[in-house]
Structure 1
Amino acid sequence: MHKTLLSTRAMPHREHTNGHATPERQFRPLVVHALYTGISRGLAADVLAAHAAGGRAVTVCTALIVASHGHVTDVLPVPSDTVDAQIQHALAHAGPTGVKIGIVSEAAAVERLFRRLDDQPTGPVVLDLTLSGPSGEDIINQQGLEALKAHLARPDLVMVRRRDAALVAGMAIESLDDAQVAVQRLHRLGARNVLLRCGQLPSRFFDDPQARPDHTADLFYDGSEFALFEAPHFELPGLHGSSSLLGMILLKELTEKKPVIEAIQQAKGYVAESLRRSHEQGPNDVPAFF
């Protein structure tokens, strides 16, 4: 298994072109996600992440979620007709350069989304497969999950957190050994490229589960090769948005025709440096990477 240790050095900033250079097309991601009210999570976090990546997001709202700090008040899916109208309008008038998909709550909305993406070229697609929220909110039913599983072959990359990967793969993921089995199951379900965000996970199934490593790990699988990406772990209570930033930088790298593994290396390095800066700065209402 290929293994990459990531330093916390910042990614080099791309130089702005001068008046004699041909300007690159602006990064304009279509972001399909739920709107969390009163907190920079979901759609709001993706918009901020797109800005941090030097782009401008085109948004599609799939649900309104009132949940934060461990409390869930309401989860209201947007009607599938309204989701479809937003997607149709964005594709027709905004000219997105790629697509990042987060929460899509209902099967009908999932079907309409992927039908639109199949009908019109959009550039690369990253699916951040999300089944549950951090405050315990249930954000998709079984029919919606089955619809997503039926379309796992469409995205260029499927990102998934360990908790949600366990639900889709139908198994506990308590070590990197388990994670290798889980990504293979996701690949057999159709996902061409899978990035499992393992977090602080023991390497072997017989390791002490209470002895958490001092680094986080993400495991990639493309059907033939595993690649493990490790980065330092920072304790940052209450800080959120790293998943949005990781997915957005990944999407930007893919729109620039980077190979998937290279795109992951760049995105992981960027996020690791951003988290390091946040750790040095201390508590802040706005994450340093935004």
Structure 2
Amino acid sequence: MTLPGTVQPPTALTIAGSDSGGGAGAQADLKTFLSCHVHGMSAITAVTVQNSLGVTGFYELPPQAVAEQIESVATDIGVGAAKTGMLASAAIMDAVAEAVRRLKVTPLVVDPVAASQHGDPLLRPDALSALRKVILPLATLVTPNLGEVRLLTGLEVRERADMDEAAKALHALGPQWVLVKGGHLPGGDAVDVLYDGSTFAEFAAPRRTTEHTHGSGDTLAAAITAGLARGLDVPAAVELGKAFITGAVAGSFPLGAGLGPVGHFWRVKPWPAQA
């Protein structure tokens, strides 16, 4: 029962894999949604077996189960904005695309997750083509890192100037907006490039020296999704996302014997920056 005077908060849905280590995937998305003052919901696509040292396996859910999760929340609670993460297989992508179209789930942020930060594959061999042809045309925004740019377009981004060409090539695959993330390029600032088919915009932040950045891509996409759920337009949502991930990287911390996560709770409890 809703109490008098209360209002339902903005809602966001993550369609993604589960990270048993808690630093990435749906867990990172839900933590980010909460920190951005949005109610988070999830449609789990796969269960990964992973910790700070890497991914040792994953188990996909049946495509119908993924679609039913999306339908369950969309037809009752409503979806203010959604994002995809690990979609694992072509069959799951087909099911997600059908549900997103039928239920008019929009805006949709696509984080084209192909591998973990350790380089462990998170896509079946048949899935890359489906990602290009089935999922990207539904995207309000796609947020690839440089490795994902290479997989999706064949282009190698070695310097800032290459990012514009990569954004154009990705936009030709169908998304409304493209955000090419330049965090893996050398240089002083971490620069991301936003493109809408005609105009480029840069979002820069000082680079932090830390190896503990597990879940950074998921977290950025989730923060952008939260901004969209709160009614921001795409550039403003990207600005919010960039500010959030900058703070989260500064608040990253060691965990286990490998790579620690970014600090999703940095707004709640600041954490000392790691060297």
State TM-score, norm by structure 2: 0.85
Of 94, 99, 112, which residue of structure 2 is paired with 1:116? Answer: 99
> SS at 1:64's partner residue?
strand
Q: Check 1:53–1:143 CA distance in 2 against 1; reply closer, same or farther (3 A cut).
A: same
Task: Supply the AA of the counterpart residue of 1:51.
Answer: L
Q: Check 1:168–1:287 CA distance in 2 against 1; reply closer, same or farther (3 A cut).
A: closer
Which structure has the larger Rg?
1
- State the 1:123 CA deviation: 3.6
> SS at 2:99's partner residue?
helix
Alignment check: 8 A CA contact 1:67 1:137 kept? no
Whether 2:180 is the aligned partner of 1:196: answer yes
Per the alignment, residue 226 of structure 1 pairs with: 200
Alignment check: 8 A CA contact 1:200 1:214 kept? no
Alignment check: 8 A CA contact 1:75 1:137 kept? no
Task: Supply the AA of the counterpart residue of 2:176.
Answer: R
Q: Distance in 2 between matches of 1:286 and 1:220?
A: 25
- State the 1:200 CA deviation: 4.4
Q: Distance in 1 between matches of 2:184 and 2:119?
A: 20
Alignment check: 8 A CA contact 1:66 1:73 kept? yes
Per the alignment, residue 133 of structure 1 pairs with: 116
Task: Supply the AA of the counterpart residue of 2:150.
Answer: A
Q: Check 1:24–1:129 CA distance in 2 against 1; reply closer, same or farther (3 A cut).
A: farther
Per the alignment, residue 289 of structure 1 pairs with: 264
Alignment check: 8 A CA contact 1:200 1:217 kept? no
Alignment check: 8 A CA contact 2:43 2:70 kept? yes
Of 23, 28, 31, which residue of structure 2 is paired with 1:45? Answer: 28
Q: Distance in 2 between matches of 1:71 and 1:269?
A: 27
Alignment check: 8 A CA contact 1:58 1:94 kept? no
Alignment check: 8 A CA contact 2:12 2:229 kept? no
- State the 1:153 CA deviation: 2.1
Q: Distance in 2 between matches of 1:239 and 1:82?
A: 31
Task: Supply the AA of the counterpart residue of 1:161.
Answer: N
Task: Supply the AA of the counterpart residue of 1:146.
Answer: S
Per the alignment, residue 46 of structure 2 pairs with: 63
1:8-19 matches, within 5 Å, as none
Alignment check: 8 A CA contact 1:30 1:60 kept? yes
Alignment check: 8 A CA contact 2:86 2:122 kept? yes
Q: Check 1:248–1:70 CA distance in 2 against 1; reply closer, same or farther (3 A cut).
A: same
> SS at 1:136's partner residue?
coil
State TM-score, norm by structure 1: 0.80
Pick 1 or 2: higher relative contact order, CA cutoff 8 A, min separation 6: 1
> Percent identity among equivalent residues?
24
* Dislocated runs of 4+, deviation >6 Å: none
Deviates more, 1:171-180 or 1:215-224: 171-180
Per the alignment, residue 271 of structure 1 pairs with: 245
Q: Deviations along 1:73-104, whole A, 9 cap, x unmatched?
A: 21222221221222222222332211111110
Per the alignment, residue 272 of structure 2 pairs with: none
Q: Distance in 2 between matches of 1:75 and 1:50?
A: 24
RMSD: 2.3
Q: Distance in 2 between matches of 1:66 and 1:179?
A: 33
Q: Check 1:286–1:108 CA distance in 2 against 1; reply closer, same or farther (3 A cut).
A: closer
Q: Distance in 2 between matches of 1:63 and 1:273?
A: 29
Alignment check: 8 A CA contact 1:34 1:62 kept? yes
Task: Supply the AA of the counterpart residue of 1:244.
Answer: D
- State the 1:234 CA deviation: 0.8
Of 77, 85, 90, which residue of structure 1 is paired with 2:68? Answer: 85
Alignment check: 8 A CA contact 1:123 1:255 kept? no
Task: Supply the AA of the counterpart residue of 2:217.
Answer: S
Per the alignment, residue 269 of structure 2 pairs with: none
- State the 1:70 CA deviation: 4.1
- State the 1:255 CA deviation: 2.7
Per the alignment, residue 270 of structure 2 pairs with: none
Alignment check: 8 A CA contact 1:67 1:135 kept? no
- State the 1:270 CA deviation: 3.0
Q: Distance in 1 between matches of 2:6 and 2:208?
A: 37
Deviates more, 1:216-225 or 1:263-272: 263-272
Alignment check: 8 A CA contact 2:183 2:190 kept? yes
